[in-house]
Amino acid sequence: MSFKKLIVAGMLLLSVQLSPAQAEASWQEASDVVENTTREMLAVIDNETLKQPEQLGELMAEIEKVVAPVVDFPYVARQVMGKYYRRATPEELERFSGVFKTTLLRTYAKAIVGFELVGYQIEQPRGESPEPSKQVVTVSVKSGNGKQYSLVYYMLKRDDRWTLVNVMVDGVNLRLTFRNQFADMYQRQNSIGGVIDSWESQVSVNLEKKVNGSDDGSEG
């Protein structure tokens, strides 16, 4: 699977028994957040002035405006760290969250260039979520080459705000992919600080390979 497919895509409480109306309302709230964010991202993609190489910084800034209110970067960063999260100091947690956010924004920016998205449709859920604060929103996306992809957004509601905590693209779990990469880097670096120091440059190298070539590929 190409990296652009993954990107354009690039977010447990006690179970609560919901009435059908309550369950539908919870999913609709999460779905509205996904749709609004998708529309805003499409506007960025359609802005040709941002696709010039010298506009990378501005493109990243525009993408951040769209995704920052929706993506819970600290939460996702902790999940990416996996079992190593408990070994990190508060300073390392904060530093990795910042580096991870910057990496994702740069990844989005580079992947958007040249990508043509011609349409999307949010699919109705097959069933009710047993937990009102956790909803899954599936979006069918059609690209300019006529291919269609399935994007599954995992949404979490905390403090009355819906946030994106994971994405699955055609069966590829992005958060799990990054978690595996973090674990592999830790085995080589043998320290949280070492992984953080090399994360951005290492991911950038992988990014160039994936954007220019192809990439063969649970929610959490």
Task: Assess contact for 155 and 30: CB atoms under 8 A.
Answer: yes
- Residue 53 within any structural domain of the chain: yes
Length of the chain: 220
**155: buried, middle or exposed (CB in 10 Å: 19+, 13-18, 0-12)?**
buried
Beta bridge partners of 135: 155
- Residue 148 within any structural domain of the chain: yes
pTM, whole model, 2 decimals?
0.76
- Residue 107 within any structural domain of the chain: yes
The CATH number given to whatever domain includes residue 187 is 3.10.450.710
pLDDT at 19: 38
- Residue 219 within any structural domain of the chain: no
121 sits in which H/E element:
strand 117-122
All residues at 6 or more sequence positions from 176 whose CB lies less than 8 Å from its CB, including other chains: 218, 220
Structural domain span for residue 7: 3-212
- Residue 218 within any structural domain of the chain: no
Whole-angstrom distance, CA of residue 162 vs CA of residue 184:
31
Residue with tokens 């993954």: 6
* Tally of CB atoms within 10 A around 8: 22
Domain count of the chain? 1
- Residue 193 within any structural domain of the chain: yes
Query: In tens digits, what is the pLDDT along the chain, a chain of 220 residues?
Result: 554 545 455 532 222 233 344 445 789 999 999 999 988 888 888 888 887 878 888 888 888 899 888 998 899 999 999 999 999 999 999 999 999 998 888 877 777 776 677 788 999 988 888 888 999 999 998 877 888 888 899 999 988 899 999 988 878 888 888 899 999 999 999 999 999 999 977 775 554 444 444 333 334 4
CA torsion sign, 107 to 53 to 208 to 203? negative
Give, as one character, the DSSP assignment of residue 18: -
